Amino acid sequence: MAIPGSTPCPAVPLPAAGGLSFRPLAATDLDAWLALTLRIAAAEDAPWHDTRSELATCFEDTDNPAAGNTAGGFDAPGVLRAFGRVTKHPGGAAGYAFGGVDPQWQRRGIGAAVLAWQEDLLRARFAADGQPPGTVRVYTPEANPAHTSLLSGAGYSTVRYFSEMLRPLAGAPAVPVPAGIRIVAFAPGLSEAVRLAHNETFADHWGSESRSIQRWGFLLANEDFRPDWSAVALDAASGEVAGYQLSMYDPERFPKEGREEGYTEVLGVRRPWRHRGIAQALLSDAMARYKAAGMDHACLDVDTENPTGALGLYEKMGYRPLRRTLAWDKAL
């Protein structure tokens, strides 16, 4: 059944590989999906993985209904051993593929079969949107030879690098708030104004797509989101949003990496207010919030080719590269 307001999903044959039985994932599979995600992340020593709330949003996403955009591979006893999912923004030039195979079921051609299904489904989705075939995009940690082998063997090429950056909070710089700007704590009443500011700010960034009200709501509903660590820079005269930063806290970081850190999920400054030191002030404010909450490090990610010069800004603020994520593309 099509969800009102969504594009009906094309019917594409599900994968067939490795002795698994594939069907679309349903909300009742959430616990099994999370357990599979955790098994894969542990085996790959992955620096990040989808959280429960992030997986749950897949069953609420009206642009990418799970019934037509997911595939779960189950073994004979009914244990979920593989999954694939695709997303595509209406009218977007790229579709995105996500997937994984249980470590005990790898090297049986399952990953390749899921990837081929994802490509077929995205071809059909571009056609359903009245578009010519576009691009499939996949993000992977750099230090993952299995993913590298699968993607390079299937004709994908690395097109972008994203650097995770880290700095200790000891000695964090105290940056004054620029004249004419007020930094206030994020509050629900500011949510829509910040969403619109975010869409405007990132309109010219590589790979960025506007956040719908639903997708923005998914971000704010994430169990790791910390509104008390997040802030908005307001123009004192007009009250307009000039900039913003939204922060996260991952409780798994300390047992995995031995540090407590605040993570800046999104940071942006609208064009009319750029080059006034607002981004630096927001980062300084975030570090102070992290430190007050008992954190000892600050972390963020950056597109290394960001046109606003964000990489250089973060380096000046004391952040140093930790590891990289790769963006892989393939033209359909």
For residue 253, the surrounding DSSP H or E stretch is: helix 253-257
User: 15 versus 111: which is more confidently predicted?
Assistant: 111
| CA geometry: angle 85, 89, 90, nearest 5 deg | 125
pLDDT band at 10 (very low <50, low <70, confident <90, very high): low
Greater model confidence, 258 or 286:
286
Strand partners, 243: 233, 269
Cα 8 from Cα 170, distance rounded (Å): 52
Dig out the tokens for 309 from the structure: 């010069």
Q: Which residues of 58-90 are buried (b: 16+ CB within 10 A; e: fewer)?
A: bbebebbbbebbbbbbbbeeeebbbbbbbbbbe
Band of residue 1 on the pLDDT scale cut at 50, 70, 90: very low
Residues 6 or more apart in contact with residue 29 via CB below 8 angstroms: 72, 80
Question: Of residues 205 and 56, which shows the higher confidence score?
Answer: 56
Q: Contact, 201 vs 270, CB < 8 A?
A: yes
SS3 154: coil
